[in-house]
A and B are shown apart, each in its own frame.
Chain A
Amino acid sequence: MTWVVHSDWLERHFDGTQALDLDAVLLGDTINLGIVTEATINPDTNALYTGLTAVATGTAWTGPVALANITCGLNGSNDLVFDADDPAVIALDAGGFSNARSLVIYEATNNYIIAHHTEGATFGNVSGSITITLNANGFWVLSI
């Protein structure tokens, strides 16, 4: 299962409509990780995080979290890599959620989805904690 980058975001990014500072340096853009119930998210038509169904909040999961230590730059092979620290473990919470299906990363001001990842089955934190492990190469790589 891999992250799927959204075409609307790419268009906005490259045509200057909303060029994000993916290093979170100059413009102070916050990029969030959200959890939603959708089993299918169309990267060409689902543009906004607010258009999706977020899982219920509880004691452990209180809603989307900001990605920490985001990096976006060239690696040693001249590929552009977008990465961040792995999100914190979401603790077991009997009053949590059990119907999650997808992860979404989006910019927090306008809720534009950058990418999403869909699991093969539902998951939740009602009967156990949730650990999200990013690939060693981060979220996505733009090979040039």
Chain B
Amino acid sequence: MWPFKSKMTGQPVLINCGVQSAEFRKERAETRVANLTAKLARLHKRSGSKAVSQEIANTRVAIQAWSDVLELAELEISQNERGLQL
């Protein structure tokens, strides 16, 4: 028997489902930051060309943008929790 069982799974996509919850945005941003950070590490291993240098710069900007989304979502969750406690 083969020692692995691979499976490719398409993920859901939503169209016009309104504003997503802070919890969803937090999860999404965490995933994006993790994926982009891993990409940045792969890029550094390939560094040398102008195209890769540009991609490194672009990826850093993207990580910062998603980090901002993550921070806002966490702040909103925190405020919601405090609101529930009052």
Chain A contact-residue range equals 35 or more
CA of A5 to CA of B13, assembled, Å: 13
Instruction: Kindly state whether residue B83 has any CB partner on chain A within 8 Å.
Output: no
Instruction: Kindly state whether residue B7 has any CB partner on chain A within 8 Å.
Output: yes
Instruction: Report chain B residues within 8 Å CB of A140.
Output: 8-11
Looking at B7, B13, B62, the one whose CB has the most chain A CB atoms below 10 A away is B13
CA of A2 to CA of B14, assembled, Å: 9
Please report whether the interface of chain A is mostly helix, strand, loop or mixed according to DSSP.
strand
Instruction: Kindly state whether residue B20 has any CB partner on chain A within 8 Å.
Output: yes
Question: Given A75-B34, A132-B15, do A142 and B62 touch, yes or no (CB 8 Å)?
Answer: no
Q: Min CB distance, B62 to chain A, in Å?
A: 4
Q: Min CB distance, A10 to chain B, in Å?
A: 8
CA of A126 to CA of B39, assembled, Å: 38
CA of A58 to CA of B42, assembled, Å: 39
User: Could you tell me which residues of chain B, from 26 to 77, have a CB within 8 Å of some CB in chain A?
Assistant: 27-28, 30-32, 34-36, 38-39, 42-43, 46, 51-52, 55, 58-59, 62
A143 engages B39 (CB within 8 Å): no
Instruction: Report chain B residues within 8 Å CB of A83.
Output: 31-32, 35
B14 engages A133 (CB within 8 Å): yes
Instruction: Report chain B residues within 8 Å CB of A144.
Output: 4, 6
